[in-house]
Amino acid sequence: MKLNVVRLSLDGVLLITPRRFEDERGYLAETYSAEEFSFRGVTATFVQENQSFSARAGTVRGLHLQVPPAAQAKLVRVVRGSIFDVAVDLRQGSPAYGRWCGKTLTAAQGEQLFIPRGFAHGFCTLEPETEVLYKIDSYYAPPSEVGVIWNDPDIDISWPVSSTQAILSDKDKKLPPFRQFHSPFVL
């Protein structure tokens, strides 16, 4: 098999590690194949790919998502550096509603995190000059963009950075708490 897939504690969130073919020059990895991913249960049709660059370790981006009609699934990977990547279940009726899971993703190992629709997503950079690529299955739609504050005590994510050390955008600093989020995602 070309992929190692691990189901995480939240239903639908997958840690995917493509196999690398190495020799004295370096390696080759097939990071995405619609056929292979579909075989593993990832049927999202990705329509856009985004890249973020964070100059400093401790940069937090999130917790972000888009709601219908432009909800998004994401496939996240690091191409330089490393991150602590997080998904939060925001699907009403889910036994894991409001719970999170997280994994470290590194350029060195090539792990990817698949995050289905109905989950918020965020990450914290663990190294300076970190670059992240993520594929999404719905185009960016500002009217559908929402979020939850990254350090909400009701979600209680074990971030690798304190509130006083985290580097955030002004927009992310102003995201509402989880208790104010009214989810349109229903199981």
Please give the positions annotated as active site: 64, 134
Please give the full DSSP string across 90-131, using - where no structure is assigned. Answer: --BT-TTTT-EEEEEEETTTT-EEEE-TTEEEEEEESSSSEE
Among residues 183, 146, 173, the alpha carbon closest in space to that of 60 is found at: 173
CB-based contacts of 106: which residues, under 8 Å, 6+ apart? 78, 81, 82
Give residue 59's region: left, alpha or beta (phi > 0; psi -120 to 50). Answer: beta
